[in-house]
Amino acid sequence: MISVTEKPQNSISPSKNGVAEIHYPESDGKPMAETDKHLTQIIYLIESLRNYFRKRDDVYVFGDMMFYYEEGNPRKVIAPDVAVVIGTTKEPRRTFKLWEEKTPQVVFEISSRSTFNEDFQKKWQLYEKFGVKEYYIFDPESDYLKDESFWAYRLDDFGELNKVIIEDNRIHSDVLNLALMISSEGLRFFNPATNEFLRSLSEETDVRSVIENQLKEETNARLQAENEIALLRAELERLKNPG
């Protein structure tokens, strides 16, 4: 992740008329996540939320995208691990420019030893300033947050992000209308309407494959049974009418 004070390379270049043109880089050249656990967690959050909101055209879910929050100043940039914007379009972006967009209502940071200071300080301050309604921080390895690996913040009526107590490793998101739960697989979304955990695209594909195989086996078994019944009926007719 890039810090809020780091300057992307080649941010200003001359235009044809000699006026400096501000460039907002699309990447900081750094990996998406530090470890496989972090990467798997981020991918799950993005894919499961996109699948959950797939029938809505006004919800945009993105992750690890260059998020510029001050027009004309490419130095003012962060890269949220996962963010949800409700009330916009699903049109893919190359960068996220806050002055052109709605503020994300929900942000997740999958924290690590090298990023937790920024997650709990600089980003927390920025998200509060932007008016993010819910901010979640999760350490998938319980590396430095051994006793409390999952933190939740909500914006109050005074515009302040306050910590919310998480009981039994579970908390409800009012914005997403989902429960957030810590399990052996990490941070997972639970849909109270269906009484099921949300699945990533790969998990959804696996489940569909299992169901399709079961249906195929059931169909084959039914056809085989029907064929056997037909043979038995034919044999019965032959016995009834030997001539």
Cβ proximity of 93 and 116 under 8 Å: no
Radius of gyration of the chain (CA): 26
Placement of tokens 């920024």 in the chain: 118
Q: What is the Cα–Cα distance from 36 to 39, expressed in whole angstroms?
A: 5
Could you count the other beta carbons within 10 Å of the beta carbon of residue 110? 30
Range with lowest mean pLDDT among 18-32, 79-93, 104-118: 18-32
Residue 203 is given by DSSP the state H
Quick one: tokens of 165? 């107590």
Q: What is the Cα–Cα distance from 3 to 78, expressed in whole angstroms?
A: 6
Environment class of 136 (CB within 10 Å of its CB; exposed 0-12, middle 13-18, buried 19+): buried
pLDDT tens-digit series, residues 178-232 = 999 999 999 999 999 999 999 987 777 765 555 556 666 676 777 777 888 888 8
pTM: 0.79
Averaged confidence pLDDT in the chain:
87
